[in-house]
Structure 1
Amino acid sequence: MFNRIVTATDMITTADAPVLSAARMARQQGARLYLLHVMESASTDNRRLVRHFETGAEMIADADYEHCIRQALEKTYKDDLSGIPHEVRVTAGFPWEEILRWAKEVDTDLIVLGPHSTRAEEKGVVRIAGRAGSTVENVVTRESCPVMVVNRPADKGQLLFQRVLVAVDFSRSCECAVGLAAKLARHYRSRLFAFHMIPVPPIPKYTRRNYAADAAHAKKRLESFYEANLENADHQYLIRAGALPHLEILNCAAEKNIDLIIMGSHTKEKAGKWYPGSAVERVGYRADCPVVVVTDPGVLAHWDSTITADDGDSKDRLIHVFIET
């Protein structure tokens, strides 16, 4: 399914969850792994002015120092990378820029990242609850291939993706997410759950009868939007009502013992919207399983063309409540 996987870490002598997960996936799928480390710069004027990873002393990074880091990374992940075709790259620059550059260079199928720097406290980075971190944000908002966010190392069983949840509304990006989810489900023979949340209006007049009508209407719309993409995939629609999408998604994932969550990000649908979307960030920040974020129809380019050119206003992509009225 995935042939070329790019992952990145800011750690050198300690194993990092995204790298471990990416390595396990590469081993299971026979993929080639690309491991990137971007040296931490001590200067905005000279990106090669860095702090030595062992002593903390400022120095100018040269080829010998880069080689030293590569050797340290190979040692840290010796067992995890053994037998896996892989390449380790060490460079200076901004992490998100270097990740995007290498991903484009190798024409990757998947990028695997952590939601926050694991060295945030040491580096003086302020963690914000619910935020995925600037590197993930910048990669997601600019990349068309799937981006997997990993909080903790995924085990081998989880990476078989036997139970997949795709969170959908009626947006373009979610249509692309369903296309990828269906492709994964058919490949891994997974059970696929298409989750949709109806936003409950913040007034006491929304009754159970209102919800039942809205849920029935939403299911019909979901089938009209996605049934063609889900053909030959073992799937089920899950409709919930709530006010906070990320909590409903996480609760549903826990309830169904989900191995993988797939989400569409609205980041490319409106000019000037630079962030991945609050639900995407909050789920990626908290999920116990890997979360794949999709932003673009190009995500399916490596496999097929099930997502066609944008159909403009031909579909009603709004979410409706109070259908009875």
Structure 2
Amino acid sequence: MPDTDLSYDDILVPTDGSGGTQPYLDQAIELATQHDARIHALYVVDTRVRSIVRDAVWPDVQSDIRVDADTAVKSIEGAAKRADVDAVTAVRTGIPHDEILAYADENDIDLIVMATHGRSGPERAALGSTTERVLRQAHVPVLTVRLDEHRRD
């Protein structure tokens, strides 16, 4: 019988800084506690934003994004530390799913924990899905936690 004892040492928690991180962050922290693992909080500054912002305002927008990024990863780090879980933070620039996958490879991540909004149909097709792309391309397990406002119990 195959060995089914999974062990996680490093758990990646990507964030876009939007609200609603608590459900998937709780899952990541619980797993980190059970496995004595470290949390990696990652924010990717999406380079595609640059193409829709006028040159005159780009420095201000870029500064605001950096503040948001630092706040988001520090929030995750703080939650982890309150749970007595080691945490590291990183902010990268690029296409989110590419940077998440690269970070996972470069840092020997054992598990990625991400949120999914449960969109379907035209909305999902129009917006694309970072989580879906990571799910399809990751070389490690990916745990998704649905963040629907109207959860079914």
Q: Which interval holds the TM-score relative to the shorter structure?
A: 0.7 to 0.9
1:196 partner letter: Y
TM-score of the superposed pair, with normalisation by structure 1: 0.37
Matches within 5 A, 1:188-267: 188-200=35-47, 201-202=50-51, 205=55, 206=58, 211=62, 214-224=65-75, 226-227=76-77, 229-230=79-80, 231=82, 232-242=84-94, 244-267=95-118
1:206-230: per-residue Cα shift (whole Å, max 9, x none)?
46x9646632442124434x35531
Query: Whose helix fraction is larger, Structure 1's or Structure 2's?
Result: 2
Q: Which runs of 5+ in 2 are unaligned?
A: 149-153
1:273/1:213 CA distance change after superposition, 3 Å:
closer
Instruction: Please say if residues 43 and 90 of structure 2, whose CA atoms lie closer than 8 Å, have aligned partners that are also in contact.
Output: yes
Alignment of 1:58-73 (within 5 A): none
SS of 2:93's equivalent in the other structure is strand
| Structure 1: gaps of 5 or more residues | 1-19, 29-158, 298-325
Could you tell me which residue of structure 1 aligns to residue 151 of structure 2? none
Please report the RMSD computed on the Cα atoms of aligned residues, expressed in angstroms.
Answer: 3.2
State TM-score, norm by structure 2.
0.73
- Overall identity of the aligned pairs, in %: 28
SS of the residue corresponding to residue 100 of structure 2 reads: helix
Residue pair 2:73, 2:90 contacting (<8 A) in 1 also: no
Shift >6 Å, 4+ stretches: none
